[in-house]
A and B are shown apart, each in its own frame.
Chain A
């Protein structure tokens, strides 16, 4: 019997990403996590049929023929208001008849939202439930909470909700894969996350004594490394130079989908990687006819090959692939006998998909190329690289001033200015006043708030000391690498063509012990076990220069001693790297590169609260004001 049901969804990305099965990035089987999420979604929707229409939750009335509405959204105040608005319009409209409303909070219902629903007078109208989706597997080696607002929430508003969710999610991972024998990290919020996990483990005995008693140390995960974004604000401000990073910089990848011009996307009308369900759904609901959503994930083999490479080598690789596909097509001339032809036909299916993907990526690469060829891009990049390398001239502030004078987008300006401030421990007092004034007069006085936000975060400050901490860190951790071979990189710095992201360098400190323990970078740094390893030892000095606490905790099972992490039949050990406050695609690529250096001895699984880049990060801090001339 059909009871027409509609679901309005917000900010909950589909757990059923159309990735292939196990892609082999890591030895950890993420499928169990994915299945769990999928099963619960089915429960939420009551069954896998019955939902007739899916809407995106947005402000304004919802017009639908369906009488049973299911909302799936984050427990956020604005969403509650949208829902209340829907209900109010339905109630006012006497023709509409009676609706039933169900609301599923992802990942849980909160007192706050219930209060808002109460205030709006719709609390009683709604049946409420929960969908416990926390870490979403974007890839087999990338899990994200996909809380887009985490950075602002955590560091500006100092609302630690995301730490709580992160701790819950990590506890759930431990429930599946076993206890992480060692938890290391840097930064105050990292420490808070670690403490919360340890406390939750103690309290878990209350929830489920048996489970807590039977919980074993993980067989394959030997460590969790938590990096607090506040330890390294520089990295996200730099322009990402990997293929995936640049796609994100230019088009912005959201929940592993990128929205591009329909003309670009038409090159790949049927998204490769078996994009069923969610893939087609999202593209059907694209707001304008001109844009189209394309999934970007490891299911697309070509993309998987390209994503982590420096963009400089992408063109050559695409060319090679094109030639190979062409050669494969040419093979048809050799197919003479019927079995040969049949064999070719079978192969052709795969070729067509590959061809589609090649067309998409060639088109994307071309777009990126057009962008990276511009003078503006190159000058920004030059300034940026000089700044992080500590090459001090007048040219850098002058160029920033010029950008303001040209009324370049504020986010671009602030990104560069903050980078400049962070690296130099602030701007000189006169310079500081000057830039503040320039920004207010050019972009509007509402940015008094923006500047205040940046000041609070320490991203744009007045110099109070001449001590250049960043310079010391840069040297001790060799963040600047002059000789970069983009084709055959030997260090993570290839992702920014010469700058090694500090965050990943710190991870490297823990997992790699070079012959010279002071130099994690450089070739030949070979891993040793973490569980019995030295942790941060040897890096205390540089860690002291960075903000926040450093910690190294060992988790034991009740029978006493921490067990030496025995490797299961030669499987690589896995380190979980948690970027609290968000990470960039380049940091993911750099972490993958670390794994490749370990020669199959160690894999990394990256967890993060969200994926960010310099634009999204800065933009979240920019004060928005309503446009009073919207109608004019």
Chain B
């Protein structure tokens, strides 16, 4: 076993290591002849012959190119026959879908099984061709032949978005994108090396950073989006912050030729690649050089760089702190002492005890450090010996929570399994951390879907296989699996599988595509999700004949209610049909009636109302409504006449308001006539007349009304309306006509204290008398009232 530090190289104050992970399974792949894109986190590689590079045509190679999907260990997973045009760029999304951008602006998105969907970058891209493209995990930016930038920021709903015109008329020396999550504006920004400067372009503007150091032939953004590495024309590597405010480092490579690749290794060093030479430059200008025999390809990861060459896959990274502490030569860190102690222990040396004693206080930390370091090791031996050291240290502790130990063992099992060369995913501990909590369900579903697609067994067998495998996972969603079967043309299988779906709502989309319309609606209603019901209703509406549509809806109350409220807002005509076929007389009539209120022309309006009337007349129980609607027609006709006679607007007013208005324009006789026409009750007419007369301050009119006959509403309203109009003298005229017990209170309201007192005295109302006395400002009257009070009090 070679010492763990064998492949370490010091770069200033830190160590880097380059470990071989795989010997490639592929044979004789000359990377220099291919265009290559690799998914991050140890993901797969996509290779396609680079048609700009000359390739000797060999016998066994087909003329039409193919896209090959390989694992990191060089195992071929899938071959995609390529029959479309020239691929400008390839990249991977964060959901591991391969993107191929074509010259004509078409973007194809392949999953790992080679199935694809596609969309276009728009007409502009098609007309001017796409000349280059840059990707990030959730989007891409394409550069067109007219030097315009088109961005896609969401692959689920791809919508080409034009960025601001960078204003250049030649291809940039180099360019890159800052993903939205790293920018201040949270929109994607594009950096373009133009002349000696850099242009920063977003959706609204292109800003010139006014740099002198260019032209920059290569650039690269650090994995955390904070720094930008640039390669200048005079061969300098220059690192600045992405806002160009901070100058971080400069390093002269003394190469006039720009590197083929410039990538970040973690966030603190930069790796450059020229033909067969790799140069890693640290932040303090230190460097390491590696040489290769053939072409290689660098894949930046969040914590290092994957190096793919013809015969191996290596990982170049900064030695993690935990590892460095333990293995660095001469380290006296507690964890190193612990690791050393285990060694002594195994050799039966008493130094083991000495070591442990010396770190007694930090032993718990040392155990944790060994556990962590185990996570960072690729070699199984070191994983084991580090865990052993942790376990050894643990036994000296009185209390120790073994959770992290157990957890790490689990993680390492997963890591070792995915790293196994047949699987070929060389993930690191740092990379995998956040993915470990993933649900197994997704994986099982994924498995079942692939099974269905690839299997040649009959439908019953597949169904049994799937169900057996998933049986111990109650609550797992079968609808996606069933959908896959349906798409694969296995409808029977789809139906069988769908029966296992526990969620009503999830069955709906598949039932819809299986043409099981009514069942889909039933399931949607069952789910309680009204929007899902809408979804089905609207789908059925588009698809079916009206009669058939109503037949399915009619016996389902929720569907009917929802259709009704949708129609009220969006489709009144459909609503009429719906009411008609369902015999809903009242609704149909009211709907027609309400329509009339939106019509300006009165003839038209009357016609519509008559329509409503006819509907109501269909039924005998609606005599009240029939009468009311007849009245409303009569009212409209009357109003038309009134508008002619008095050139004033009347339509829209109610009967009461019409009468009221007539009185306020001094047309009392006409008001009386209208009142008669509609048989308005006496009480209402008197109220209306009284209020209207008060409004126009026609006090004589009020008096005449009061005298005309015995008021059906009494005389209190006369007093109160006058009081409200602040006409106390007028009000006084009617108080004596009111009920005796009310008079005192009414006089008090118009501040007639003397009269109020007299009336209260007559009624023997002591409480009111006292109230009057308190409010009265006049001492003489007060005296008088005091008199009444004594008189009444003594008579008790």
Contacts and interface: CB of A to CB of B under 8 A. Distances in A.
A570 B100 CA distance: 63
B590 A448 contact: yes
A412 interface: no
Contacts of B207: 1
A3 B688 contact: no
Contact of B654 (A206, A444, A452): A444
Interface string B172-194: 00000000000111110100000
A78 interface: yes
B683 A452 contact: no
Contact of B655 (A98, A161, A441, A625): A441
Given A440-B628, A628-B651, A405 B687 contact: yes
A308 to B, nearest CB: 32
B268 interface: no
A205 B600 contact: no
A443 interface: yes
B202 interface: yes
A124 B629 CA distance: 46
B594 interface: yes
Contacts of A206: 475-477, 502-503, 506
Contacts of A627: 652
Interface in B575-609: 586, 590, 593-594, 597-598, 600
Interface residues of A, number: 72
A178 to B, nearest CB: 20
A212 B502 CA distance: 15
Interface of A is mostly: helix
Interface stretch (B124-132, B154-162, B699-707, B736-744): B154-162
Interface in A157-173: 157-161, 163-164, 167
B631 A127 contact: no
Interface string B496-515: 00000011011000000000
Contact of B558 (A160, A440, A443): A160
Interface string A49-60: 010000000000
A233 B629 CA distance: 30
Given A3-B187, A116-B570, A159-B530, A445 B632 contact: yes
Contacts of B203: 3, 67-68, 100
Contacts of B161: 100
Interface in A34-87: 46-47, 50, 67-68, 75, 77-78
B681 to A, nearest CB: 8
Interface in B523-582: 528-532, 534-535, 538, 557-558, 561-562, 564-566, 569-570
Given A1-B184, A405-B683, A441-B654, A205 B475 contact: yes
Contacts of A110: 531, 534
Interface in A470-485: none
B475 A446 contact: no
Contacts of B628: 436-437, 440, 445, 448
Given A3-B202, A50-B185, A402-B687, A111 B564 contact: no
Contacts of B565: 153, 157, 159
A623 to B, nearest CB: 7
B751 interface: no
Interface string A176-202: 000000000000000010001001001
Nearest to A205: B475
Nearest to A4: B204
A160 B530 contact: yes
A401 interface: yes
Contacts of B183: 1
A313 interface: no
Contacts of B531: 75, 108, 110-112, 161
B154 A127 contact: yes
A441 B185 contact: no
A210 interface: yes
B656 interface: yes
A632 B600 CA distance: 13
A124 B157 CA distance: 9
A448 B157 contact: no
Nearest to A108: B531
Contacts of B656: 407, 441-443
B684 interface: yes
A128 interface: yes
Interface residues of B, number: 78
Contact of A199 (B205, B528, B562, B720): B528
A628 B652 contact: yes
B687 A406 contact: yes
Contact of A112 (B538, B558, B593, B678): B538
Given A2-B185, A625-B597, A203 B503 contact: yes
A625 B632 CA distance: 15
A346 B720 CA distance: 55
Contact of B684 (A1, A164, A442): A442
Contacts of A443: 654, 656
B652 A445 contact: no
B555 to A, nearest CB: 15
B528 to A, nearest CB: 5
Contacts of A78: 569
A116 B571 CA distance: 11
Given A2-B185, A401-B683, A628 B654 contact: no
A98 B529 contact: no
A209 B530 contact: no
A104 to B, nearest CB: 14
Contact of A1 (B189, B530, B651, B691): B189
Interface string B241-275: 00000000000000000000000000000000000
Given A112-B534, A210-B439, A119 B598 contact: no
Contact of A202 (B186, B439, B502): B502
Nearest to B683: A405
Contacts of A438: 681, 684
A441 B528 contact: no
Given A158-B561, A164-B528, A623 B594 contact: yes
Nearest to A76: B569
A441 B590 contact: no
Contact of A448 (B562, B593, B688): B593
B430 interface: no
Which among A110, A119, A444 has the greatest number of chain B C-beta atoms within 10 A? A444
A629 interface: yes
Interface in B629-658: 629, 631-632, 635, 649, 651-657
Interface string A127-164: 11000000000000000000000000100011111011
Interface in A100-121: 100, 108, 110-112, 115-116, 119
19 contacts: A1-B200, A4-B204, A50-B185, A50-B186, A67-B203, A111-B532, A111-B534, A116-B570, A127-B154, A205-B475, A206-B477, A405-B683, A436-B628, A443-B656, A444-B654, A445-B628, A448-B625, A448-B629, A629-B651
Given A50-B185, A209-B475, A629-B652, 10 more contacts: A112-B531, A159-B561, A164-B529, A209-B473, A210-B439, A212-B475, A441-B656, A441-B678, A625-B594, A625-B597
The 7 closest A-B pairs by CB, nearest first: A205-B475, A405-B687, A46-B186, A111-B535, A445-B632, A625-B597, A110-B531
Interface of B: 154, 157, 159, 161-162, 183-187, 189, 200, 202-205, 207, 439, 441, 473-477, 502-503, 505-506, 528-532, 534-535, 538, 557-558, 561-562, 564-566, 569-570, 586, 590, 593-594, 597-598, 600, 624-625, 628-629, 631-632, 635, 649, 651-657, 660, 678, 680-681, 683-684, 687-688, 691, 713, 720
Interface of A: 1-4, 46-47, 50, 67-68, 75, 77-78, 98, 100, 108, 110-112, 115-116, 119, 124, 127-128, 153, 157-161, 163-164, 167, 192, 196, 199, 202-203, 205-206, 208-210, 212, 375, 401-402, 404-407, 433, 436-438, 440-446, 448-449, 452, 623, 625-629, 632
